[in-house]
């Protein structure tokens, strides 16, 4: 039961904490698409929560299209829509140029930052804050990159648009090796954390335009950091 035993109670509602925890496990790859969650009784026991709180959390996750409860099969982490998976599988490496992917990020990520400001639940805000607490520490490049991808995935989840979540997941897979360059040293990692903080502050305030602009500024900073390490970018 990887990941579930790391659940720690905090100060918001129990159901929001559960949602934040499961969304984070999905966003950081601990729970892969298609994963079947443990039965309700077992999961409530592992998380040390009531079954009523767990049911409330599952209702929110299902409403967000993060999971699907299937009669006779249990609760399943939803996969990306089939047409998005096909697009990833059929597109060759040569077609997925770094510039193309950077332009994709600049197109979709400011929009889901804006939508997150308008739609984020308490659980989403809590999950994002927890990731920022992690990235504020002295992390290795690999740890910082994982926190970066988790933050952006949680932000996409907060937009409550499953197609944008799927596109962001593709973007993450295409850019992971290159994104590592923008986490190459401690100064770069601090810059990434500052950018994320400004985005979350705007999202928390409910200011969609400010969240969009903060994301654009963050992506511009990432491009500068990447170019300094990878001139061909």
Average pLDDT over residues 200-224: 95
Q: Write the CB contacts of 38 (distance below 8 Å, at least 6 apart in sequence).
A: 1, 4, 46
What pLDDT shows up at residue 79?
76
What pLDDT shows up at residue 95?
46
Tell me the C-alpha distance between 202 and 118, whole Å.
10
Residue 76 bridge partners (DSSP):
36, 68
DSSP state of 180: G
Average pLDDT over residues 207-215: 98
Q: Is 70 exceeded by the pLDDT of residue 137?
A: yes
Closest CA relative to residue 16, chosen from 121, 116, 132, 117? 121
What pLDDT shows up at residue 70?
81
pLDDT in tens, 25-45: 988 888 888 899 999 999 999
Tell me the C-alpha distance between 46 and 119, whole Å.
30
Tell me the C-alpha distance between 26 and 161, whole Å.
16
Confidence of residue 197 (pLDDT cuts 50, 70, 90): very high
**Which of 86-100, 143-157, 201-215 is predicted least confidently?**
86-100
pLDDT greater at residue 59 or residue 99: 59
**Alpha helices per DSSP H over 95-207:** 98-119, 122-135, 141-158, 162-179, 186-205
Share of residues in the chain with pLDDT > 70 (%)? 85
Neighbours of 197 (CB within 10 A): 16
What pLDDT shows up at residue 80?
62
Q: Is 50 exceeded by the pLDDT of residue 94?
A: no
Measured distance between the N- and C-terminal CA atoms of the chain, rounded to whole angstroms: 40
Q: What is the mean pLDDT of the chain?
A: 85
pLDDT in tens, 160-187: 988 888 888 878 877 777 788 788 889 9
Confidence of residue 109 (pLDDT cuts 50, 70, 90): very high
């Amino acid at each position: 039961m990887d990941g579930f035993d790391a659940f720690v109670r905090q100060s918001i509602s129990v159901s929001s904490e559960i949602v934040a925890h499961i969304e984070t496990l999905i966003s950081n790859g601990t729970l892969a698409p298609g994963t079947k969650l443990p039965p309700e009784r077992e999961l409530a026991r592992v998380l040390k929560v009531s079954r009523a709180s767990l049911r409330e959390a599952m209702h929110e996750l299902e409403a967000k299209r993060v999971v699907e409860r299937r009669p006779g099969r249990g609760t399943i982490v939803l996969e990306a829509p089939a047409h998005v998976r096909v697009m990833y599988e059929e597109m060759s490496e040569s077609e997925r140029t770094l510039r193309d992917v950077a332009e994709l990020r600049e197109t979709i990520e400011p929009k889901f930052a804006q939508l997150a400001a308008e739609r984020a639940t308490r659980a989403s805000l809590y999950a994002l804050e927890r990731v920022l607490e992690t990235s504020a520490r002295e992390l290795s490049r690999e740890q910082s990159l994982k926190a970066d991808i988790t933050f952006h995935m949680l932000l996409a989840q907060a937009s409550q648009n499953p197609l944008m979540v799927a596109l962001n997941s593709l973007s993450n897979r295409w850019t992971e090796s290159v994104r590592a360059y923008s986490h190459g040293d401690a100064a770069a990692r601090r810059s990434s954390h500052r950018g994320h903080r400004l985005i979350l502050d705007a999202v928390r305030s409910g200011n969609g335009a400010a969240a969009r602009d903060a994301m654009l500024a963050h992506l511009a900073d990432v491009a500068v950091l990447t170019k300094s390490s990878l001139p061909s970018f």
